[in-house]
Amino acid sequence: MTAAVASMGFLPMALSTSAGAEVQKPLATVVIGGLITATLLTLIILRFSISIFPELNSNSGEAGRDS
């Protein structure tokens, strides 16, 4: 949610055509792309790692028990 709001905050900078926009547009584009990429990769990597290493999932109820 935070990354989405930050990306929307950079949209006016990315879409501006006023004086100085040639400096602001690349910066805004990189920041928006980085926020979206980091969010998607985090969601994918976390779900993937939980499926590969189920013992890391604290909700399973079996992790951390000494038998």
pLDDT tens digits for range 5-61:
999 999 998 898 888 888 889 999 999 999 999 999 998 988 888 888 777 666 655
Number of Cβ within 10 Å of residue 60's Cβ equals: 11
Number of Cβ within 10 Å of residue 31's Cβ equals: 16
Q: Are 29 and 11 in contact (CB under 8 A)?
A: no
Is the pTM of the predicted complex or chain greater than 0.85? no
